[in-house]
């Protein structure tokens, strides 16, 4: 299971934690039950609802067929439609599986040309993921790729297209009219909470990820968080600490790790908290630090800059990989590293950084046993539940996104969508 560590508990920023945590236990109780008020957005609370045995078997079969026939699998989606899958694929994709190419997350003409260039001479399958099929970027990319597949494969093109959307959407109708395979996008889950559903699981399975283990990890974390009391509940403790730091003037949370395989997980985490919490002129702004590289760009500010940031580190307990520094007999100033394992060097860098930073700001560590599909499942459920709790403590709706709808309308107006019949 995930463990939570608070560094420098004597720091002034910890004052009032016990009182805050004791006052808000009702929020945990309500979240554990699920709230009727948010019933149209809480399909993720029970992992079994959208990741039961029947669905997993179907996705495994479909993914196996794609792996057998595809050189490239194009994942069309943006934000919640691709961030979860991408984070796991980039960290854990198995060899001898299709190359995963991402589309529908930019409007750049250059990026579109580059993406199409990767497809030449290869066997292509496409998965378009769009909840209501109204977002500009995936809609535009799907049109381009449908045309590309039609030109290459003729009347066989529909066999290579899978679309994931809500039942009754225009995307489902497009599939029915043209013979594309259709997967259901849960109508009671917002995109940023869909990791453990058709949305995230099919692309992961195509990349050879053990989705059964990922679902098991999420399910085990669900039991842990929905049954534990406030005193034992790590999601409640994490949410309470975030809100305590917020009340002390810390307005930015940096999720940091010394393992670069978390690079795309940061994107998922940033969207989860920014889109859930950032409303009503409230919210902690989420950013990420890929250490140790970014220590050499933002480390100075973290140590001596404006005190508005707190850090949450991700750490991996189990020693999974080794690479030893060999002696080369030259006086280069680095002989103190002779015979040391890079895993251990990296771990010491993490410990030193936490020690230094926790003297200046609040620092937490969330530790997982190992980096694998099971623990990704745990992380997804943990952060989703913790985000829900944090929003409750902050007094905002975790599941709407009025600001997103505002800029989308401006984009549509500028491009003349209102004139389309």
Q: Where are the alpha helices (DSSP H) in 70-128?
A: 83-92, 109-117
- The Cα 131–Cα 392 span in angstroms is 25
CA atoms within 13 A on the CB side of 392: 25
Closest CA to 366 of 407, 315, 310: 315
According to DSSP, residue 122 is labeled S
C-beta of residue 225 within 8 angstroms of C-beta of residue 10: no
Q: What distances in angstroms separate CA 335 from CA 204, 323, 340, 351, one per listed residue?
A: 42, 16, 10, 21
Judge contact between 196 and 87, C-beta under 8 A. no
185: its two tokens: 């996008």
The active-site residue, picked from 25, 267, 360, 408, is 408
Q: Is 408 a catalytic residue?
A: yes
What distance in Å separates the CA atoms of residue 410 and residue 412, rounded to the nearest whole number? 6
Tokens of 363: 């620092």
Strand order in the sheet with 72-76: 99-103, 72-76, 124-129, 161-165, 181-184
Closest Cα to residue 7, out of 294, 256, 289?
A: 256
Classify residue 356 by burial, with Cβ atoms within 10 Å: 0-12, 13-18, 19+: middle
Give the Cα separation of 338 and 327 in Å (integer). 5
- 137, 253, 259, 275: the active-site residue: 275
Token look-up 């691709």 returns: 82
**Annotated catalytic residue 7:** no
Taking alpha carbons only, the member of 402, 385, 403, 400 closest to residue 38 is 400
Query: 347 an active-site residue?
Result: no
DSSP 324: B
Report angle CA 324, 291, 90 to the nearest 5 degrees. Answer: 85
Cα separation values, 278 from 252, 384, 400, Å: 12, 15, 10
DSSP code of residue 180? -
Q: What is d(CA 283, CA 245) in angstroms, rounded to the nearest whole number?
A: 12
* SS percent in the chain: helix, strand, coil, step 5: 55, 15, 30
Catalytic residue among 54, 110, 296, 330: 296
Catalytic residues: 275, 296, 408
């Amino acid at each position: 299971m995930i463990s939570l560590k608070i560094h420098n508990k004597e720091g002034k920023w910890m004052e009032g934690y016990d009182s805050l945590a004791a006052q808000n236990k009702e929020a945990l109780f309500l979240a554990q039950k699920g709230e009727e008020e948010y019933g149209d957005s809480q399909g993720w609370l029970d992992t079994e609802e959208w990741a039961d045995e029947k669905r997993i078997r179907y996705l495994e079969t479909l993914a196996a067929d794609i792996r057998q026939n595809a050189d490239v699998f194009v994942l069309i989606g943006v934000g919640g439609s691709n961030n979860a899958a991408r984070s796991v694929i980039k960290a854990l994709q198995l060899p001898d599986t299709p190359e995963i190419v991402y589309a529908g997350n930019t409007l750049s003409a250059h990026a579109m040309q580059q993406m199409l260039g990767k497809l030449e001479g290869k066997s292509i399958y496409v998965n378009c993921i769009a909840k209501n099929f109204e977002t500009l970027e995936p809609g535009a990319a799907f049109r381009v790729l449908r045309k590309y597949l039609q030109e290459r494969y003729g009347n066989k093109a529909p066999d290579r297209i899978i679309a994931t959307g809500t039942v009754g959407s225009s995307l489902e109708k497009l599939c029915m009219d043209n013979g594309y395979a259709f997967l259901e996008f849960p109508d009671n889950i917002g995109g940023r909470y869909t990791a453990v559903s058709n949305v995230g699981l099919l692309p992961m399975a195509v990349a050879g990820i053990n989705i059964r283990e990922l679902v098991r990890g999420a399910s085990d974390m669900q039991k842990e968080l929905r049954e534990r009391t406030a005193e034992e509940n790590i999601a409640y403790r994490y949410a309470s600490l975030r809100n305590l730091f917020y009340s002390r003037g810390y307005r930015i949370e940096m999720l940091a790790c010394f393992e670069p395989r978390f690079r795309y997980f940061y994107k998922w985490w940033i969207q989860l908290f920014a889109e859930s919490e950032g409303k009503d002129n409230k919210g902690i702004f989420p950013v990420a630090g890929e250490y140790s590289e970014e220590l050499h760009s933002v480390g100075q500010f973290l140590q001596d800059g404006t005190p508005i940031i707190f850090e949450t580190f991700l750490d991996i307990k189990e020693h999974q990989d080794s690479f030893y520094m060999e002696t080369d007999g030259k006086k280069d100033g680095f002989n103190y590293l002779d015979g040391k394992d890079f895993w251990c060097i990296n771990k010491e860098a993490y410990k030193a950084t936490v020690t230094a930073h926790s003297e200046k700001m609040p620092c937490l560590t969330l530790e997982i046993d190992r980096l694998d599909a099971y623990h990704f499942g745990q992380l997804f459920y943990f952060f989703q539940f913790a985000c829900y709790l944090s929003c409750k403590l902050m007094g905002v709706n975790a599941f709407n996104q009025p600001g997103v709808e505002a800029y989308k309308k401006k984009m549509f107006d500028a491009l003349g969508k209102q004139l389309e019949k």
